[in-house]
Structure 1
Amino acid sequence: MRIRTRVLAIAAAAATVAGLLSTHADRPADAAVPATIPFTITNNSGRGDAVYIYNLGTNLTTGQQGWADAAGTFHAWPPGGNPPTPAPDASIAGPANGQSRTIQLPKFSGRIYFSYGQKIVFKLTTGGLVQPAVQNPSDPNRNILFNWSEYTLNDGGLFINSTQVDLFSAPYAVSVRTGGGATLTTGHLKPGGYNAVYNGLRNAGWGNLVQTGPDGSVLRALAPLYGVETGALPANAMDDYINRVWSKYSSQTLTVTPFGDQPNTKYFGRVSGSTMNFTNSSGAVVTSFQKPDSASVFGCFKFLDAPNDQVRGPISRTLCAGYNRSTLLTNPNQPDPNDAGFYQDAVTNRYAKTIHAQMADGKAYAFAFDDVGNHESLVHDGNPQAAGLILDPFN
């Protein structure tokens, strides 16, 4: 559940960023994002299964958690229980193979789930919605083929992405039609890319991340943090790289420039014992990090916690990207802008490496801060006219 909580926090952060972007000069002064925009689901999957769509998240007007129906009408979740109680059926009938269906997307921050063949099981606790957690073999969704996109639609426009932060599963892409009439799309795999991801993980020795159904069909690959937590990956998977980073910056300085639009804002990291201290340009210590473990690197949390502030969070995001992409040893100035050098060390996030290699545009959200340097699969427009989700072929 830890990555999942982090993903939702990112969606909330996107809403804040969207509000800031609403003042950009490239947005017409008289443009206004309507209460809903058309959202078209196109089924190019080649599968004959029934498709179910869900729009779940936070109402940005009221702050309530709930779901939106096909007309874009918001429904708040009722109180949950302990043990969890069944959530209301929020499913929307999706299009058959070769067809499309248009629904309305309201001002919301959350997820568009879709499933094949079976409805997703959602329950409510006293703390809110229980999301699928298929790393748990007893989760009721373990043998259901599903995936999701994340989005925020507010007065700053639409931010929508494909995501593999928790898992890689049923292929899809997302799109937005801009105020200027162009269509921006991301998330498509290369031809043959779906199977190539699973084969790449197996060839890299990470095949235990792949989950199959009772009939032997492939359902998904878990993200590596879940692999560590379930024993599918060794808990020390990244430790050798972490140790080498620690050794290097015991005698050298790591320079972090976390904001692309603020090149003079720099922080300088040096290791002392079990701590990496970061100083500002005046030499004052601004934050410190304990030596991370593999779970911290894969999950971008715990010893690499990233609060939503202007110092520790941005430094931590940059460190997390550098560890996962294995660029901290080859470039003491982070973030590294050269994606040709990503994932080149023998010890790296092979899940992220494999997924990025199979994306048609090279973009993916394969770990929580894959947006460092704008390598994430995200499209945005401040004056969106429409948006979409394309269910792609599996071969």
Structure 2
Amino acid sequence: MISRRKLLGGIAASAAAAGTGLAFAGSRASGAESAAPRAAGSTMPLTIVNKTGQFANSSIWVYIVGNEGGRQVRVTPDGKLAPIALSDNGSDGVTDYAIPLSGSGDTKLTLPRMSGRIYVALGSKLKFKAVADGAGNAALQYPAGWVSGDPNFQIMHDCAEFTFNSSGMFCNTTMVDMFSVPLAIRLTGAKDQTTGTLKDGGRARIFSDLAGVDAFKRLIIGDNLRVIAPGHGMGAGLFAQDYFASYIDQVWDVYGSKDLKVTTNAGTFTGRVSGGKFSFTGPASVSFDKPSTKDVLFCDGALAAPNDGTTGPVAAILGAGFNRTTLHNSAAQPTSKPGAFYGEQVTNHYAKALHAATVDGKAYGFAFDDVADFASYIQDTDPKAITLTLTPF
């Protein structure tokens, strides 16, 4: 299994060493990316389409940044890979890696093999600073829209994530950290797939839905500039540190007296809470300490999911069950009926609002939103072209 965390994690590791705001979270908990029947091409056409209805092409810039072969790179306007260099910082202390959109119509670019993000900035350019990471290598400080002191905090921006390699293209529209610009990806090749498209009025609906939930309304930044994920809201003092505590207690109490069955690709695990731990037997023996609200929202800490085929998949399914608040009343996980998700008063209303606003019901609202295939993720082992559309506001 090639997980999203593994494919994109190298960039995050470099960024973390550099003290950046980049946070690639989540993984493919099921449905592994299979080997390609033949090697994908070394480049792919990338089309950027502006359908915002509010911003002209001249007010939108694209940045393609990430890593390739262990080094941090960016894509130039002519489709070439260029290493990040400290000397790229200008007199203002930041780089200018912006790729402007065409004067009119769609923008045609070339995407080389790499893993990374396609950022879009609306109204103003983003400020990426080249810095030395912990190993002395050049790296980028990425935008952190949930940090009020970040130089890009007042700039409208968003991104999609991808890995393009010899096995194909693996991509998603991510809201794991925040949501601001509605984006849709179309990937053509062996299949013709689209994900991320919002319903008409979907952007406004997301802000409206969250404004109506007291615990989540403070996550809205500015005049609907963006909404940040509740995990980041905790760090900014905008979200309760113990929000999920009552639900976590409920789950712990329920499974202190009955079993939970968790089915993964490795087989079915049977778990029960005893001695403060949720312990499972089956294909392997795995156990989990009682998580905190932070652990649930980031699917980390007590719910950390290594790429080991046993602990990782169980942790991912538990993380999804906590966020979707299905764990307490469904003793067979994962659940796959979206009508049963987010039904409790204490639930991840951020993820709920995102899913409710998308055409296909899929979104990346938390790190393991791909459990049971509910993430805005698509892949193709024989890709021919990719289109990123900034959809109507």
TM-score range, shorter chain: 0.7 to 0.9
Contact 1:42–1:95 (CA under 8 A) maintained in structure 2: no
2:171 equivalent in structure 1 = 160
Contact 2:23–2:177 (CA under 8 A) maintained in structure 1: no
Matches of 2:25 and 2:349 in 1, distance apart? 24
Correspondence for 1:22 among 35, 39, 42: 35
1:7 equivalent in structure 2 = 24
Correspondence for 1:272 among 248, 271, 274: 274
Question: What does the per-residue CA deviation read over 1:36-70, in whole Å, with 9 as the maximum and x for residues that have no partner?
Answer: 110000101112351110111111xx321111113
2:213 equivalent in structure 1 = 204
Question: What does the per-residue CA deviation read over 1:225-273, in whole Å, with 9 as the maximum and x for residues that have no partner?
Answer: 01122221111111111110000011111111122xx5xx111211113
1:175 equivalent in structure 2 = 186
**3-state DSSP of counterpart to 1:257:** strand
**3-state DSSP of counterpart to 2:24:** helix
Matches of 2:184 and 2:70 in 1, distance apart? 28
Q: How does 1:22-101 map to 2 (within 5 A)?
A: 22-23=35-36, 27=37, 31-49=38-56, 50-59=59-68, 62-79=69-86, 86-95=93-102, 99-101=105-107
2:305 equivalent in structure 1 = 306
- TM-superposed CA distance for 1:8, in Å, is 6.1
Matches of 1:93 and 1:165 in 2, distance apart? 26
- TM-superposed CA distance for 1:79, in Å, is 4.7
**3-state DSSP of counterpart to 1:204:** coil
**3-state DSSP of counterpart to 1:88:** coil
- TM-superposed CA distance for 1:107, in Å, is 0.7
- TM-superposed CA distance for 1:9, in Å, is 7.4
2:9 equivalent in structure 1 = none
Q: How does 1:251-270 map to 2 (within 5 A)?
A: 251-259=257-265, 262=266, 265-270=267-272
- Answer yes or no: is 1:195 the counterpart of 2:201: no
Matches of 2:379 and 2:93 in 1, distance apart? 34
Correspondence for 2:160 among 133, 142, 149: 149
Correspondence for 2:151 among 140, 144, 148: 140
Contact 1:43–1:95 (CA under 8 A) maintained in structure 2: no
- TM-superposed CA distance for 1:274, in Å, is 2.1
- TM-superposed CA distance for 1:183, in Å, is 2.8
Q: How does 1:365-376 map to 2 (within 5 A)?
A: 365-376=364-375
2:194 equivalent in structure 1 = 185
- TM-superposed CA distance for 1:210, in Å, is 0.3
- Answer yes or no: is 1:116 the counterpart of 2:126: no
Amino acid aligned to 1:229: G
Contact 1:87–1:122 (CA under 8 A) maintained in structure 2: yes
- TM-superposed CA distance for 1:313, in Å, is 1.0
Q: How does 1:345-384 map to 2 (within 5 A)?
A: 345-384=344-383
Contact 1:51–1:94 (CA under 8 A) maintained in structure 2: yes
- Answer yes or no: is 1:248 the counterpart of 2:254: yes
Amino acid aligned to 1:103: L
Matches of 1:124 and 1:161 in 2, distance apart? 26
Matches of 1:139 and 1:152 in 2, distance apart? 26
Contact 2:95–2:127 (CA under 8 A) maintained in structure 1: no
Amino acid aligned to 2:373: N
Contact 1:41–1:95 (CA under 8 A) maintained in structure 2: no
For structure 1, the residue ranges without an aligned partner over 5 or more in a row are none
Contact 2:22–2:143 (CA under 8 A) maintained in structure 1: no
- TM-superposed CA distance for 1:4, in Å, is 6.3
**3-state DSSP of counterpart to 1:129:** strand
Amino acid aligned to 1:293: S
Contact 1:6–1:368 (CA under 8 A) maintained in structure 2: no
**3-state DSSP of counterpart to 1:7:** coil
Amino acid aligned to 2:83: A
Q: How many residues in Structure 1 have an aligned counterpart in Structure 2? A: 364
- TM-superposed CA distance for 1:218, in Å, is 1.8
1:323 equivalent in structure 2 = 322
Amino acid aligned to 1:336: T
2:12 equivalent in structure 1 = none
Contact 1:177–1:184 (CA under 8 A) maintained in structure 2: yes
2:389 equivalent in structure 1 = 390
For structure 2, the residue ranges without an aligned partner over 5 or more in a row are 1-14, 134-138
Structure 1 range deviating more: 188-197 or 70-79: 70-79
Amino acid aligned to 2:240: P
- Label 1:366 to 1:124 Cα distance change in 2 as closer, same or farther (>3 A): same
TM-score normalised by structure 1 residue count: 0.87
CA RMSD of aligned residues (A): 2.3
- TM-superposed CA distance for 1:6, in Å, is 4.9
Matches of 1:143 and 1:377 in 2, distance apart? 26
Question: What does the per-residue CA deviation read over 1:61-85, in whole Å, with 9 as the maximum and x for residues that have no partner?
Answer: x32111111332111112599xxx9
Matches of 2:273 and 2:87 in 1, distance apart? 47
- Label 1:320 to 1:8 Cα distance change in 2 as closer, same or farther (>3 A): closer
Matches of 1:196 and 1:172 in 2, distance apart? 15
